Structure 1
Amino acid sequence: MSQHFFQKKAVFIRDEDFDRLIGEYPLVVVCFVQSRCDLSRRIRPILNQLANDYFPQVKVVKIDLAKYKQIGERFQIDCLPNIFYFKNGQRMNNLVGLLPDEVIRNKLEELL
């Protein structure tokens, strides 16, 4: 995926791109969502702003669990939205639910 692919907003990725992406970029924020979930729709502007503000240092992506159920099972995701932070290929922590922008940013800032 090109650098341009990530500019301006958090993009959806496929589950088959997940492991490569996590290994390729030093800091990745992954938000697991579901297309028909109201909270998943409401977190979209927060993720897009995060992607824009931290580009190119941080990659912000989304995975739709309605399409890719296996990855949800892999990480035992029960609640949405669910945000995972990966640094150098390792899962560092995660946040669950629709949280304020500053909470999501503070967790990211801890990893920079």
Structure 2
Amino acid sequence: MASENIVIITNENFESEVVNSDKPVMVDFWANWCGPCKGLAPIIDEIANEYSDKVKVGKVDVDANGELSMKFRVMSIPTVIFFKNGEQIAREVGAFPKEKYAEIINSL
């Protein structure tokens, strides 16, 4: 079950949720049919709960939001992009252990 701390990000709300966010945003680009994405989901949930004071966590369904996928050149999923002040500052392609994402969050 997904964390209530995760924001569903769409083409329509990207600006309000990411660009205008008052804190950094970690965005998981994923799809329902993607096995590695499903494996990463519990880690994303843990991060959303444990780091809610430091970062907003969002998920973009690439099938439903192709415009965002194209804009950020998401070619493989899962892709996790970190934004600060609306700008992309880090990107990880593939599924990694929680510590990898925590290291990026702690450097923001």
* SS of residue in 1 equivalent to 2:104: helix
Matched AA of 2:46: Q
Structure 1: which 4+ aligned runs deviate by more than 4 Å? none
Note the residue ranges of structure 2 that are not aligned, 5 or more in a row. Answer: none
Where does 1:63-78 land on structure 2 (aligned, <5 Å)? 63-78=60-75
Match of 2:16 among 7, 17, 20: 20
Q: Distance in 1 between matches of 2:75 and 2:88?
A: 17
Match of 2:7 among 6, 11, 30: 11
Match of 2:28 among 31, 53, 56: 31
**Greater helix proportion:** 1
Q: Distance in 1 between matches of 2:22 and 2:48?
A: 14
**Do 1:31 and 1:82's aligned partners in 2 also have CA atoms closer than 8 Å?**
yes
Matched AA of 2:26: V
* SS of residue in 2 equivalent to 1:91: strand
Aligned length in residues: 105
Matched AA of 1:48: D
Give the superposed CA RMSD.
Answer: 1.4
TM-score normalised by structure 2 residue count: 0.89
Note the residue ranges of structure 1 that are not aligned, 5 or more in a row. Answer: 1-6
**Do 1:9 and 1:47's aligned partners in 2 also have CA atoms closer than 8 Å?**
no
